[in-house]
Structure 1
C-alpha cells in the first residue's frame, strides 16, 4: 500500500534518454530535473575526459553529491583531497569550495545530484546540444566565460587561483 500525496508521476530515463549538452569539454545529461522530482533534487550524468574537470568553485544554494561510476577522479573538497575509484560517493555541502579532476587515461563517468534543484538550468542555458555517451569537443574559453557570466544567476562562484 502506498500513500500518494505529491501528484508526481514515475519517470523512467532509458540508456539513450535525458537532455544532453556539451559544456567545458564534458558531456552532461540531465537524467531527472527539478520539475520531474517535484523540486526535490536534480540528477545528472557526466562524462569527463582525462586530465579535465571544473575549476574550484562553490554553490551558494545547493548541496552536491557525486557518485563515481567509471574511472579515477581526484576531488578537492575544502582542505581534503579524495582519490576516488568507482563506487565512491562524495557529498559537498553548499558553500564549500570544491573541484575534481579525472586522473585516469580514460573518460570518467559519474552521477551528480543537486539538492535543491535549479543548477540544471545553467547546463541547458549555456551548453551546446550533445549526444549522451559521446565525448564533448575540447574545453572552450567561450564556455568558461559563459559560466562566469551567469554564475550570479545560478548562485555559484568560481574561486580565482591563489
Structure 2
C-alpha cells in the first residue's frame, strides 16, 4: 500500500464493535473499487482532501468532511490534495485484520515510497475475500 496506516483501535480493544485506523497518504493514493459484506465504513478527513466514489456518486471531501461508505455499496477513494490525513472507522471491527495481513510494517512513521510495481490484484482479491471484501476494479475514481 502507498500510505502509512496506524491502527488506533482494534476488535480486541473495543469488544469487536469498531476499528479505527489513521491514514497518511500522498496525492493519488487510494483503494481499489470494492464492496464490504461485513462492515460499514466512515471516513473523517483531518488534513488535505479526498475524492470519494460511493455507489455511483462522486464527492470531494476537504478537511473536516465526514463520508459514509455503507456495507453492500461499492466504493473507492483517492487522495486529491498533495497529502492527506484521515481516520477510517469500521463497524463492526475486523477490517484491521485485512490491513495487517495485506501491509508491511512501517520502518518509520512517514509515508512509504510509492510502489514501483502495480499491485497484485489477484492476491489482494484473494486476501480481501477472507475478510468479506470483494475487489471490483482498480484504484482510481470511476468515470
> TM-score under structure 1 normalisation?
0.78
* Offset from partner CA, 1:132-152 (integer Å, 9 cap, x none): 640122135356444222111
1:141-160 correspondence runs (5 A): 141=118, 144-160=121-137
> Whole-Å Cα distance in 1 between the matches of residues 5 and 121 of structure 2?
15
2:106 is equivalent to residue 130 of structure 1: yes
Equivalent in the alignment of 2:91: 115
Equivalent in the alignment of 2:50: 73
More strand by share: 2
* Offset from partner CA, 1:18-77 (integer Å, 9 cap, x none): xxxxxx111111000011001110000011211221121111100000000011111111
> Whole-Å Cα distance in 2 between the matches of residues 138 and 96 of structure 1?
28
1:39-54 correspondence runs (5 A): 39-54=16-31
Misfit runs of 4+, over 6 Å:
none
2:109 is equivalent to residue 101 of structure 1: no
**Contact 1:61–1:155, Cα closer than 8 Å, also in 2:** yes
**Contact 1:29–1:132, Cα closer than 8 Å, also in 2:** no
Higher Cα Rg, which structure = 1
Equivalent in the alignment of 1:61: 38
Equivalent in the alignment of 2:7: 30
More helix by share: 2
Name the stretch that deviates more: 51-60 or 122-131. 122-131
| Number of residue pairs matched by the alignment | 138
**Contact 1:76–1:98, Cα closer than 8 Å, also in 2:** yes
> Whole-Å Cα distance in 1 between the matches of residues 77 and 20 of structure 2?
18
Q: Tell me, which stretches of 5 or more residues in structure 2 are unaligned?
A: none
Equivalent in the alignment of 1:4: none
> Whole-Å Cα distance in 2 between the matches of residues 144 and 25 of structure 1?
15
Q: Tell me, which stretches of 5 or more residues in structure 1 are unaligned?
A: 1-23
Equivalent in the alignment of 1:20: none
> TM-score under structure 2 normalisation?
0.88
- State which of 63, 69, 86 in structure 1 corresponds to 2:63: 86
Secondary structure of the corresponding residue to residue 56 of structure 1? strand
